[in-house]
A and B are shown apart, each in its own frame.
Chain A
Amino acid sequence: MAFFEVDGLTKRFGGLTAVDDVSFSVDEGQVYTIIGPNGAGKTTIFNLVSLIYAPTAGTVRFRERDLTSLAPHRVASLGIGRTFQNIELFEHATVLQNLLIGRHAHAHRNFMADLFFLPSVRRAELAHREQVEKVIDFLDLQAHRDSLVAGLPYGVRKVVELARALCAQPRLLLLDEPSSGLNVEETDDMAYWIQDIREQLGITVLMVEHDMSLVSRVSDRVLAVNYGRVLAEGTAAEVQSHPDVVAAYLGA
C-alpha cells in the first residue's frame, strides 16, 4: 500500500506529449526527488499531481485515494501542499496574511459567522494564528511577519512560499525547485529545513530539483526524467551514475 503513487501518468498538450507514461511511488516519510533537464516535464508532473492540469491518461493515488477526478481546490484538504517554481505569493498582502491563507484548508467555511465575527470565529482565528506562529518559528520568519510580500527579497519569498505550504499541515509536500535562485548559504538552510520537515514534522516530501549536491544530501530516492519519460530510478548515487542520466543531463 503505497503512500503516494503515480501510475502511467500521461499529459498531452495538443501534439506535444509533455509527460509520457510516468510511474513511481513514494513511501511515507521519504524525501523523493525528480531530476531532469529543463523542459523534461517535471513541473508538469507536479501540476498534474496538484490537479492544476487534468491528465490525459493514468492515475494519481494518494493514500489509496484516486485524485484524478477531484476539483483542484480539494487537494489541499486531502493533505497535499505545494510550492511554485515562480513563486505565487499574494503580493499585496503581508507575510502573516499569506500564511494565514495557507490555513484555509483547515478553516471553517461559514461566511455568515465571519460577517458578524462571532466568538467562534475569534477563537478559530487565534488558533490559526498559533499554528502559523509555529511555522514562523520553524523557518525563522519573525522579522518579516508584517512586511508586505511585494517588498521582500527573493530568498525570503522562497521561504515564505515554503512556510505557506507548511501552514496547511500537509502530509505530502510538493516542492518545485526549492533552491532555485538561492545562494549557497540559503541552499544550505533549505537542506536543513527539508531534513527537519521530514524528521520533526513527519511530512513526506516530493521535490523537483536541479542542484545535485542538495539532491544527494537530502534525498532518499531519485527519479530522473527526460522528454516526459522516466530514465532511471533509485538512490541518488545509483541515478547519478546511470549512463542514460549522465548522457542526457549530468554530463560525463
Chain B
Amino acid sequence: MTDILQLVVAGVAIGCIYALIALGFVLIYKATEVVNFAQGDLMMLGAFVAFTFASIWGLSFWLAFPLAIATMAAFGAAFDRVVLRPIIGQPQVAAVLVTIAAGFVIRGAASMVPGWGTDTHALKAPFSDQVVRAGGVSVSSDHLAIIGLTAALCVVLYVFFKRTRVGIAMQASSQNQLAAYYMGIPVRRINTLIWSISAGVAAFAAVLLAPITFVHANMGFIGLKAFPAAVLGGFGSIPGAIVGGLIIGLVESFAGFYLPEGFKDVAAYVVVLVVLIVRPSGIFAEQRRKKV
C-alpha cells in the first residue's frame, strides 16, 4: 500500500511538471491558436538562466528563482515581437514551423554558451534532498514542493484569467483575430503578454524540475511528454492540461514500476493514441464547428 502511495506521489509530482509545460502550450494556443513546439526548450533555457543566477553568479536561490522567471518572461515577449509578429496574417502552419525551428535554435545556442555547453549541471533548491515522512510514507521534498507550488501557481493564473479584462481580451483575440482588432483590442500586445506569461511558467517549471533531472541542453525533450498531456486533456482547455499532465505522470510512474524496462517511456504515447482514437479531441474535448 505504501508502495502505491509513493508511486502516486511521484506520479503526481512529475505530472505537475508535465502539467506546467502543458499549461504553457495551452495558454499560447488558447490565445493565438499557435502550437508552441519550443515550450520544452524554453523551459530548458529557464533552467540554465536560473543556474547562471544561482550557481555561476552565486545569488541566493530565493532571488535567483523570481529573477529567472522574470528573465524568461522578458525573453518570451522578445521572442513574440521578433519572430512571431512578422508572421501575423500567414496561415497557422507558418507559426508551427517557426516554433519548431526556434526549438532547434534555442537548443543549438544553449549548447554553445560558455559555462553551459553540453555538460550536465546541478541546481538544487533549499528545500531539496530532504525526505518527509507522513503516515508511513516517505516522500521526497522535491516532489512535495512541486505539487504545492504548482497548485499555488494554478490559483494565481485562474484569478488572473477569470477576473481581469486582459483574460477576456485574450479569449476574444483567439476566437476571431480580425474582429478583435476592430474592437480595439491590441491583439499584438496581448499576444506578447501571453508569450511572456507562458515563458515565465516554463521557467517556474524548470526550477522545480532541475533538482530532479539536473540542468542540461536536452532537458527540453521532456516537453515532448507534455504534448500528449495537453492533447489528452483537450488542447484548448486549461484544466484539461493539468488533468492530462497528472494522468501522464501517474501512468509513467506506475508503468515504470510494474512494466518491464523501457516501457515507461512509451507508455505515455500509447495512452495518448488510445485516447485520441476513442475521443478525437481529448478528454475535455473542445467543440469545433465550421459554419458554412
Contacts and interface: CB of A to CB of B under 8 A. Distances in A.
Direct contact of A and B (CB under 8 A): yes
B292 interface: yes
A84 B291 CA distance: 10
Contacts of A84: 292
Nearest to A92: B91
Contacts of B291: 86
Interface residues of B, number: 2
Contacts of A43: 292
Main secondary structure of the interface of A (DSSP, over half): loop
Interface in B275-292: 291-292
Interface in A34-56: 43, 47, 52
A88 interface: yes
Interface string A11-51: 00000000000000000000000000000000100010000
A52 B291 CA distance: 11
A85 interface: yes
Interface in B253-292: 291-292
Contacts of A88: 292
Contacts of B292: 43, 47, 52, 84-86, 88
Interface residues on A, range: under 10
B288 to A, nearest CB: 14
Interface in A85-127: 85-86, 88
A88 B291 CA distance: 11
Nearest to A84: B292
A85 B291 CA distance: 9
Nearest to A82: B292
Nearest to B292: A84
B289 to A, nearest CB: 9
A19 to B, nearest CB: 15
A43 B292 CA distance: 8
A85 B292 CA distance: 6
B228 to A, nearest CB: 30
Interface string A183-203: 000000000000000000000
A84 B292 CA distance: 6
Contacts of A47: 292
Nearest to B289: A13
A221 to B, nearest CB: 25
A88 B292 CA distance: 8
A47 B292 CA distance: 8
A47 to B, nearest CB: 7
A66 B11 CA distance: 54
A52 B290 CA distance: 11
Interface in B222-267: none
B92 to A, nearest CB: 14
8 contacts: A43-B292, A47-B292, A52-B292, A84-B292, A85-B292, A86-B291, A86-B292, A88-B292
Given A84-B292, A85-B292, A86-B291, 5 more contacts: A43-B292, A47-B292, A52-B292, A86-B292, A88-B292
Interface of A: 43, 47, 52, 84-86, 88
Pairs A-B, 4 closest by C-beta atoms: A84-B292, A88-B292, A86-B292, A85-B292
